[in-house]
């Protein structure tokens, strides 16, 4: 009779011999099976030992027989062609038991905007979406004029910022001419009609390359158009370019180099929504659509000083968008003003019948909301842990600014939680399974990215599902901690931890070792996995010239309140009105 300890030693000795040592996760049986047509008793025992299981000899022999019979089935699954847009039939909800959300549709109410056309149209490059919409609606400017102005800026400044993958000049001008004809005929479609924008290059547009920022996919043509692009087309928006994504939604480096921060060309724009952040901040597009799994909207928004909204999971369709995690991926607007996020969300936040995770809960933005009715809090322990004197001062001034709006901030604490319950290591390994099996991972701009997929590929299914049950428990703890507020303030997360800053999730698997997390990082991780909405806005500037950032959070589907408070803060502070000088 073998012993679990003996099996564990044999397992470790075997993998030490091939250079993996004890870093490999449980579930190696299938990794071994890739090199063999038959599963042996020794392979099974090694796998069981790492999974912490022990069965009788009789049970193990029966398992080996059953597993070998199942190999044919598994092989058939591996050989099946699964299109990019097919996700598992499991639909995640950020709503926990007892959580209340407003399901009553209310009229959308935006601020009244009045602005005159500048003598030099280039001066309108940093106008808000609302201001540009007013110019278009009152026919002070044509969509073609705006399109040509922004295209000229894209071509002029892209050599400095490296934020464009594919220019869509001809398509954009055709869309702009159509918008002008419709507006002239009195067929105004709404506030995005004729507004130029840019799409992160993991968002598919039929007829053009969708490179996912990777050398392995730099010539990829996807025969579909993402729902978010179709929805914006229907609203009359004008797509100028496919802007950069960090490779496979990680960081700000892609096969064409690094995308840079317009405020400080010595540093990257952060990622992975590097292009939307850089291009919006530089006044090269009116707004961008980014994506986030774990920091990819908030991080570049903070770095580049734009107003970036990570919506609640289930707000915006992800059909036609590269997946990292079917239970964490979100699409959201990156703009220069919080209310611009609301204008974009009013168009794109709706079911499309394709992504079945999208909720019908209405987006009820009201610029005239009585803010005094909002319960506003802040994570005191997170702000207390900030050590950088300059950042600490900006945080204190931002808190005081919010208090001056008439709020007595509720002190909140980050719940304790240390268990690893991330989903997208396993889910991204699933999405990129074909790439790994084909050996084309060597074509990646960063081939080391595949290491995390290999690790995640051998995680036991039972353990993965147990971790997701624990994720539900974590979500309930966070819901309890945030139950007494509608919106709350958190310091910008600068410690990594998501694919945006190249942390553990970027590699597709858990970290080599768990480190204690401070309140800011712990909250970031929990709120991200619970899929809470968040808004990053600038709240000052560093000595380097780069913006500082403050993050507002809300409970699931609380974007209307989140954006109303964010707008009020920006109206009071004015940092969003400053812009980088790319000609200096």
Domains and CATH numbers, the chain: 1-80 (no CATH), 121-362 (3.90.1300.10)
pLDDT tens, residue by residue, 301-359 = 999 999 999 999 999 999 999 999 999 999 999 999 999 999 999 999 999 999 999 99
Instruction: Indicate the pLDDT class of residue 23, thresholds 50, 70 and 90.
Output: very low
Round the average pLDDT of the chain to a whole number and report it. Answer: 90
Q: Given this model, what pLDDT does residue 454 score?
A: 87
pLDDT tens, residue by residue, 439-467 = 999 999 999 889 989 888 878 888 899 99
Whether 142 has a pLDDT exceeding 60, the answer reads yes
What's this model's pTM, rounded to 2 decimal places? 0.90
Q: Given this model, what pLDDT does residue 510 score?
A: 40
Whether 559 has a pLDDT exceeding 60, the answer reads yes
List the strands of the sheet with 410-412, edge to edge. Answer: 164-167, 238-243, 196-200, 287-292, 330-335, 307-310, 534-541, 547-554, 487-491, 376-379, 410-412
Number of H helices, E strands in the chain: 19, 15
Whether 368 has a pLDDT exceeding 70, the answer reads yes
Mean pLDDT confidence for 193-221: 98
Instruction: Indicate the pLDDT class of residue 12, thresholds 50, 70 and 90.
Output: very low
Whether 494 has a pLDDT exceeding 90, the answer reads no
Distance CA 234, CA 59 (A): 60
Distances (CA, A) of 371 to 374, 398, 407, 554, 564: 5, 17, 9, 14, 8
Question: Which of 158-167, 194-203, 228-237, 413-422 shows the lowest mean pLDDT across its residues?
Answer: 413-422
Backbone φ and ψ for 310, nearest 5 degrees, come out as -95, 105
Backbone φ and ψ for 536, nearest 5 degrees, come out as -100, 130
**Beta-sheet strands, E only, within 439-526:** 487-491
Q: Given this model, what pLDDT does residue 376 score?
A: 98
Question: Which of 67-81, 166-180, 187-201 shows the lowest mean pLDDT across its residues?
Answer: 67-81
Distances (CA, A) of 490 to 6, 58, 143, 238, 523: 49, 56, 38, 34, 9
Question: Which of 70-79, 107-116, 139-148, 398-407 shows the lowest mean pLDDT across its residues?
Answer: 70-79
% of the chain with per-residue pLDDT over 90: 78
Whether 498 has a pLDDT exceeding 50, the answer reads no
pLDDT tens, residue by residue, 373-395 = 999 999 999 999 999 999 999 99
Q: Given this model, what pLDDT does residue 424 score?
A: 83
Are 132 and 169 in contact by the 8 Å Cβ rule? The answer is no
Distances (CA, A) of 460 to 201, 212, 372: 33, 29, 50
State the sign of the Cα–Cα–Cα–Cα dihedral 568, 491, 128, 118.
positive
Distance CA 302, CA 546 (A): 9
Distances (CA, A) of 203 to 271, 277, 484: 15, 15, 37
Whether 515 has a pLDDT exceeding 70, the answer reads no
pLDDT tens, residue by residue, 465-483 = 999 999 999 999 999 999 9
Q: Given this model, what pLDDT does residue 514 score?
A: 53
Instruction: Indicate the pLDDT class of residue 188, thresholds 50, 70 and 90.
Output: very high
> Nearest Cα to 278, choosing from 224, 201, 203?
201
Mean pLDDT confidence for 224-250: 98
Whether 241 has a pLDDT exceeding 50, the answer reads yes
Instruction: Indicate the pLDDT class of residue 20, thresholds 50, 70 and 90.
Output: very low
In the 8-state DSSP scheme, what is residue 272? S
Whether 6 has a pLDDT exceeding 90, the answer reads no
């Amino acid at each position: 009779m073998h012993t679990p300890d003996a099996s564990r030693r044999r397992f470790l000795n075997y993998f030490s011999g091939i250079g993996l040592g004890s870093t490999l996760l449980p579930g190696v049986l299938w990794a071994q099976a890739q090199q063999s047509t038959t599963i042996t008793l020794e392979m099974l025992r090694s796998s069981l030992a790492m999974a912490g299981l022990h069965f009788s000899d009789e049970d193990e022999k029966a398992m080996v027989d059953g597993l070998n019979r199942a190999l044919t089935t598994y092989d058939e699954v591996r050989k099946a062609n699964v299109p990019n847009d097919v996700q598992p039939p499991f639909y995640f909800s950020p709503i926990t038991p007892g959580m209340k959300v407003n399901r009553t549709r209310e009229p959308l109410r935006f601020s009244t905007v009045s602005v005159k056309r500048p003598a030099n149209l280039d001066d309108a490059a940093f106008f808000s979406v609302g201001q540009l919409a007013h110019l278009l609606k009152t026919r002070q400017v044509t969509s073609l004029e705006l399109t040509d102005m922004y295209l000229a800026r894209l071509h002029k400044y892209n050599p400095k910022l490296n934020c464009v993958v594919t220019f869509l000049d001809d398509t954009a001008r055709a869309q702009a001419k159509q918008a002008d004809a419709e507006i002239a005929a009195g067929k105004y479609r709404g506030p995005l009609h004729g507004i130029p924008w840019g799409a992160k290059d993991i968002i598919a547009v039929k007829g053009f390359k969708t490179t996912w920022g990777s050398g392995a996919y730099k010539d990829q043509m996807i025969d579909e158009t993402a729902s978010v692009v179709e929805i914006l087309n229907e609203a009359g928006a004008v797509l100028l370019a496919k802007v950069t994504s960090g490779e496979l939604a990680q960081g700000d480096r892609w096969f064409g180099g690094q995308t840079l921060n317009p405020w400080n060309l010595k540093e990257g724009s952060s990622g992975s929504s590097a292009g939307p952040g850089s291009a919006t901040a530089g006044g090269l597009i009116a707004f961008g659509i980014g994506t986030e799994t774990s920091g990819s909207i908030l991080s570049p928004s903070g770095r580049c000083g734009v107003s970036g909204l990570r919506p609640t999971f289930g707000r915006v369709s992800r059909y036609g968008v590269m997946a990292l995690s079917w239970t964490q991926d979100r699409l959201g607007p990156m703009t220069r003003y919080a209310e611009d996020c609301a204008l974009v969300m009013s168009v794109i936040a709706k079911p499309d019948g394709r992504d079945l995770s999208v909720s019908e809960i209405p987006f009820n933005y009201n610029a005239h909301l009585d803010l005094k009715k909002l319960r506003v809090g802040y994570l005191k322990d997170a702000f207390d842990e900030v050590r950088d004197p300059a950042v600490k001062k900006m945080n204190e001034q931002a808190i005081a600014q919010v208090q001056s709006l008439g709020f007595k901030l509720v002190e909140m604490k980050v719940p304790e939680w240390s268990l690893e319950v991330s989903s997208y290591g396993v889910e991204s390994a699933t999405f990129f399974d074909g790439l790994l099996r084909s050996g084309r991972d060597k074509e990646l701009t960063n081939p080391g990215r595949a290491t995390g997929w290999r690790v995640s590929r051998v995680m036991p299914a039972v353990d993965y599902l147990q971790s997701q049950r624990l994720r539900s428990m974590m979500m309930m703890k966070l819901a309890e901690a945030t139950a007494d507020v509608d919106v709350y303030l958190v310091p910008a997360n600068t410690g990594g931890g998501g694919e945006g800053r190249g942390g553990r999730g970027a590699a597709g698997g858990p970290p080599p070792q768990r480190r204690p997390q401070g309140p800011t990082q712990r909250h970031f991780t929990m709120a991200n996995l619970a899929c809470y909405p968040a808004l990053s806005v600038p709240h000052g500037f560093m000595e380097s010239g780069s913006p500082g950032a403050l993050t507002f959070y809300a409970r699931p589907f609380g974007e209307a309140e989140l954006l109303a408070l964010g707008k009020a803060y920006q109206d009071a502070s004015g940092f969003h009105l400053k812009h980088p000088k790319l000609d200096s």
